[in-house]
Structure 1
Amino acid sequence: MGNKPTGTSGRSSDSQDAGLLFGILRAAVDAAASGATEAAAARARTLADPRLGDATGALLDGGVGTLLDHGLRGLWECGWQPRDVAEYARRLSPVARAYLLDAMVARADRHHPREGRDPRWQAQLDELAPTPPTSADDVVLSRWSSRRRLDRPSALEMVVSVLGLLAAAPALTPILPPPGGAGAPGVRGTRGNAVEVKILGRIRALLAKAESTEFPEEAEALSAKAQMLMTRFSLDDALLESAGSARAHTAAAGVRRIWLTAPYVGAKALLAHVVARANRCRAVSDDRIGYVNIVGADLDLELVEILTTSLLLQANRAMLGHGRQVDGRGASRTRSWRQSFLVSYATRIGERLTEAGAASQATLDEDQSARLLPVLAAREQQVEHLFAELFPRTRTHAVSVSNPSGWAAGRVAADLADLRQGRQAVDQRTSA
């Protein structure tokens, strides 16, 4: 593939070279997608062979760009969102993930202009790249890898892993319209306002403090205060809706996707399920891929995502604080202990959240309760309808527990994260 004679035969040879390289690249990607990492790496090394000639780099840049466009366009058409890709890409190496995110942002304008994208989809893209690449040329493989001082073999192995990930990604349930596409079923926009932004900011700040403190009693108090504010805020929103206020959210349901980190995905999904149930939402998880879809009213979805994320962090910190576990013979019991810990933690948190919700609703007077019940019933109907539409075939499964010590420790940790209901949070609300 070195020096070529001029004329038609040279162009034909160039075309043959490009076809050969693209075939090897496709074979490497197919191997990576099927999990044959050694075969994928071997084919990537073949492409990096310096004996192939100087023209190889430009030809491979074109082939990689073609496969990137095809892979990303396929993801958008199969229900993926930018945030989904960013979470799913955590299974890549840090440099491969960085390349994928840069490519996703830089090549977004290639097929669908910005005005043809759902604002929520675009907001996710903007969050992932505060300083995005200026154009698709910035993520041409040879240029991108040169700026990061990657040699050709490393760059090709990296990009093959990226393309393999895209090729192997399964279809997801659409919860936002793809770029240039029609709206997803039942999904509507959130009507945020200054009051909502302010209260959600307070909730996030309280939970951030709960996550960072080393003192369980302080974490308990902060989490309790956040949950009280969340519960009351949600009920107040429903009361505003009953009064026909423009500041209330509509009863229409929507969907959020929460990604979970391995290991113990099933146990972590259980925690998301109990938080969703306590906040009038439905949840369905895919433990193989590692995510939970939450269906609920707009505001409840926001609150469930905030609380689930915080409780997962708190549970993980408490679990790791116990260190590794061994039995009387010195054999490791860490995995069974941590699985049991997380299942117990989720179970107890579910009990506490249910109690907190009931206590919060009990603070309402008779007139408020009478106005609230029809609104909550309407929201529940919307949630059930959308859930059945999007997930017509679901099944339940148990999460195994085999370590009594881990179960007991998880229950204690959940008690320390006790989300007790009280009246003092009402004073923190912003008045209507």
Structure 2
Amino acid sequence: MLLPRGVPEAGRLAAFNALVRGDRATVCRAAEVPLLDQVDLLWANGWQPDDVLHHTRVALADAKQRRLVPDLVAADRAGRSTQAIDPRWQQQLDDAGLGDAQARRGWLARWSAREGLEGAQLVLAVLAVVETLRVPPLDFLLPPPGRPDQPLASAASAPDRADPVLVRVRRLLAKAESTEFEAEAATYTAKAQELITRHAIDAALLAANRGRNGEAPTMIRVRVDPPYADIKNVLLNVVAAATRCRVVVLGQVSMTAVMGTASDLAAVEALYTSLLVQGQHALAETARSAPPGARTRSASYRSAFWLAYADRLGERLREVTDHVVAGSTDSDRLLPALQSQADALDAWVTERFGTLGTSPVRGGWDAAGWTQGRLAGDTAKLATGDLRPTRRAIG
């Protein structure tokens, strides 16, 4: 690396001073290889382009440093033009809006010139990025470039985005996000949860009929951004639990692992995103007319709001799930089938992560924030008869 760990402080300072005295071209030539080596190590440790770009957006406070990372990933991509790349990996690269690097050499000098950095500022920016990319390994969810035989966290395939049930769920949640009417948003959300629960019941009964345990567990990683990341993880856990999934928070990287069947995971990701958007909208409305420093803008108020919002939504989602399960015409076989799937998932999670613990949720307490959070999550009734379409078509 530029300034290797394990070298005495005096040696590190001497290496830093030598880099600072070099001109821009010299520093960039020296830095390109260790930066690309660091990215190669990330791919070998289970990271994906989306993971790296998200982590650095959150972890790097300096905008110039953040803009270095897409150029770095683009340079890595340019050096792998002849390697086999998984289509899902390639899709992440295509969607990322990467820099214009066409080769593994020369890209850092163009970035530094564009950002107006040289000397100590340039060296410190590069070192900050290198340090930020020193992160723990993750589970392999996609094979990295050039390694098609890399073992993955699960052999289960990703959910088919053309699955008609999941398409309907996404449409309902999109409507829930876009409507200005709270009761209407809750109706759409409840209907989406009802659909995915019925979908899971059908799959469990089909597997039971065939003498199988159902879909093999698999895993996704969900980005959970600050502020209030620990409380947003509470909301994610609430959604996952109501959708028969398990959650493990990944420390240091602003991501959370969610385990379950492929279809349930697709529903969790969509539902969590929708509820997060709706919660942010409701919180923004309470603060829209409040002056700076007002109670509704305080950290205690917002923490209490998010906790109450998650608490009430947990109740509502459980009501929907319990109602659908209770309405099954084949409950004698359904409950053992669902329990068998839950046991298999718990065993899989334990095998991957060992014994798990819990951590306290940080934040203050505010009675008004709690009340507003409950109100934001407490709207439409959830009995089947109350899930009829409003004036906007459902489905």
Partner of 1:409: 372
Count of equivalent residues: 377
Partner of 1:35: none
Deviation (angstroms), 1:77: 2.6
Query: For residues 113 and 377 of structure 1, what CA distance do their matches in structure 2 show?
Result: 47
The alignment status of 1:135 with 2:114, answered yes or no, reads: no
The alignment status of 1:192 with 2:157, answered yes or no, reads: no
The alignment status of 1:380 with 2:346, answered yes or no, reads: no
Q: TM-score, normalised by structure 1?
A: 0.74
Query: Does the Cα contact within 8 Å between 2:238 and 2:314 map onto a contact in 1?
Result: yes
Go from structure 1 to structure 2 and tell me whether the alpha carbon gap of 1:309 and 1:359 turns closer, same or farther (over 3 Å shift): same
Partner of 1:3: none
Query: For residues 213 and 142 of structure 2, what CA distance do their matches in structure 1 show?
Result: 18
Query: Does the Cα contact within 8 Å between 1:269 and 1:291 map onto a contact in 2?
Result: no
Query: For residues 288 and 330 of structure 1, what CA distance do their matches in structure 2 show?
Result: 32
Alignment root-mean-square deviation, CA: 3.8
Aligned to 2:287, the other structure's residue is in SS state coil
Q: TM-score, normalised by structure 2?
A: 0.81
Deviations for 1:167-224, whole angstroms, at most 9, x for unmatched residues? 3x23334444444262134342226274x0x432332232223223333233223222
Deviation (angstroms), 1:256: 1.1
Q: Which amino acid aligns with 2:48?
A: Q
Query: Does the Cα contact within 8 Å between 1:242 and 1:375 map onto a contact in 2?
Result: yes
Deviation (angstroms), 1:114: 4.1
Deviation (angstroms), 1:95: 4.2
Q: Which amino acid aligns with 1:108?
A: R
Deviation (angstroms), 1:250: 5.0
Query: For residues 89 and 241 of structure 2, what CA distance do their matches in structure 1 show?
Result: 26
Q: Which amino acid aligns with 1:379?
A: Q
The alignment status of 1:60 with 2:27, answered yes or no, reads: yes
Query: Does the Cα contact within 8 Å between 1:343 and 1:399 map onto a contact in 2?
Result: no
After superposition, residues 323-342 of structure 1 pair within 5 angstroms as 323=287, 334-342=298-306
Partner of 2:150: 182
Query: Does the Cα contact within 8 Å between 1:133 and 1:139 map onto a contact in 2?
Result: no
Tell me which of 239, 243, 247 is aligned to 1:279: 243
Query: For residues 330 and 324 of structure 1, what CA distance do their matches in structure 2 show?
Result: 11
Q: Which amino acid aligns with 2:35?
A: L
Query: For residues 250 and 316 of structure 2, what CA distance do their matches in structure 1 show?
Result: 25
The alignment status of 1:296 with 2:260, answered yes or no, reads: yes
Go from structure 1 to structure 2 and tell me whether the alpha carbon gap of 1:421 and 1:255 turns closer, same or farther (over 3 Å shift): farther
Tell me which of 391, 396, 399 is aligned to 2:358: 396
Tell me which of 37, 40, 55 is aligned to 1:70: 37
The alignment status of 1:227 with 2:193, answered yes or no, reads: yes
Aligned to 2:272, the other structure's residue is in SS state helix
Query: Is there any run of 5+ residues in structure 2 with no aligned partner, and where?
Result: 7-11
Go from structure 1 to structure 2 and tell me whether the alpha carbon gap of 1:193 and 1:149 turns closer, same or farther (over 3 Å shift): closer
The alignment status of 1:365 with 2:334, answered yes or no, reads: no
Go from structure 1 to structure 2 and tell me whether the alpha carbon gap of 1:133 and 1:421 turns closer, same or farther (over 3 Å shift): farther
Query: Does the Cα contact within 8 Å between 1:209 and 1:222 map onto a contact in 2?
Result: yes
Larger C-alpha radius of gyration, 1 or 2?
Answer: 1
Aligned to 1:255, the other structure's residue is in SS state strand
Query: Is there any run of 5+ residues in structure 1 with no aligned partner, and where?
Result: 1-21, 31-38
Query: For residues 105 and 377 of structure 1, what CA distance do their matches in structure 2 show?
Result: 46
Tell me which of 53, 69, 72 is aligned to 1:86: 53
Partner of 1:26: 3
Query: For residues 334 and 149 of structure 1, what CA distance do their matches in structure 2 show?
Result: 36
